[in-house]
Amino acid sequence: MIEIKSYCKIDGNVMITDGNITCSRPEGASLKEWLTLIHKESGQQYPKFYKMDTLSKAGFIAAEQTMCPTEPEIAPKEDAAVVLFSSAGSLDSDLQYFETVTDNNNYYPSPGTFVYTLANIVCGEIAIRHKIFGETMCYITKEFSALQLYNQLRYLEQEQNTKTVICGWCNVLKDECKVLLLRVELTQNQLADQNQLQEFTDKLNHLI
């Protein structure tokens, strides 16, 4: 059985958590500025956040909303995983890095930007933050497919004995952002049920 415990959607100028608008983008603020503001207002002390690219910042914030860590020391999770889908992947960072290497007279490649030129880094940042030691996967697909996600959850539950998954769509390009992250709990041996597949895909297609 797949149970959606919590979800966070960042789309355009609003962030919605479990159906409630939790934050709106201030007028004139860039996406990067807005995400930084959300992080600061959360009161967290996570210096690495400021070094992340915008894709990782967006994924990190949505994951925070769904995981709601309250304890000072987050417990390691062997039976948790991160599965994300994205169409742009790391293209936003790729373009920024490209700008640092195109001018022969101003050729200063940024190592800090380069490390984010892989789409799956956002999964790693979430996994590090929440001490998730299970699978981390990022798929590049043209659009979000609830069926693909469902199949991945089935695989994780049946083959990896995974119990908790942060999963969904995480897409950032330039100043545009669309994120839908879910925290789902998996219960064994009931995933193949056709009714549940329909219910799950209907719900996600509604949320996205």
Range in contact with another protein (rule: CB under 8 A) among 45-53, 57-65, 122-130, 193-201: 45-53
Range in contact with another protein (rule: CB under 8 A) among 109-117, 159-167, 176-184, 187-195: 109-117
- By CB under 8 A, the residues from 163 to 182 that bind another protein are none
> Which of residues 19, 47, 72, 76 is near another protein by CB under 8 A?
47
Is 103 near another protein (CB under 8 A)? no
Asked if residues 80 and 185 have their Cβ atoms less than 8 Å apart, the reply is no
**Burial class (CB within 10 angstroms; exposed 0-12, middle 13-18, buried 19+) of 208:** middle
Query: Which strand ranges, in their side-by-side order, compose the sheet holding 2-11?
Result: 20-24, 14-17, 2-11, 176-186, 164-173, 80-86, 136-140
| Residues ≥6 apart with Cβ < 8 Å to 131 | 74, 75, 76, 77
Is 50 near another protein (CB under 8 A)? yes
Nearest CB to another protein, comparing residues 36 and 162: 36
**What residues line the site for another protein (CB under 8 A)?**
36, 40, 47, 50-51, 108-112, 115
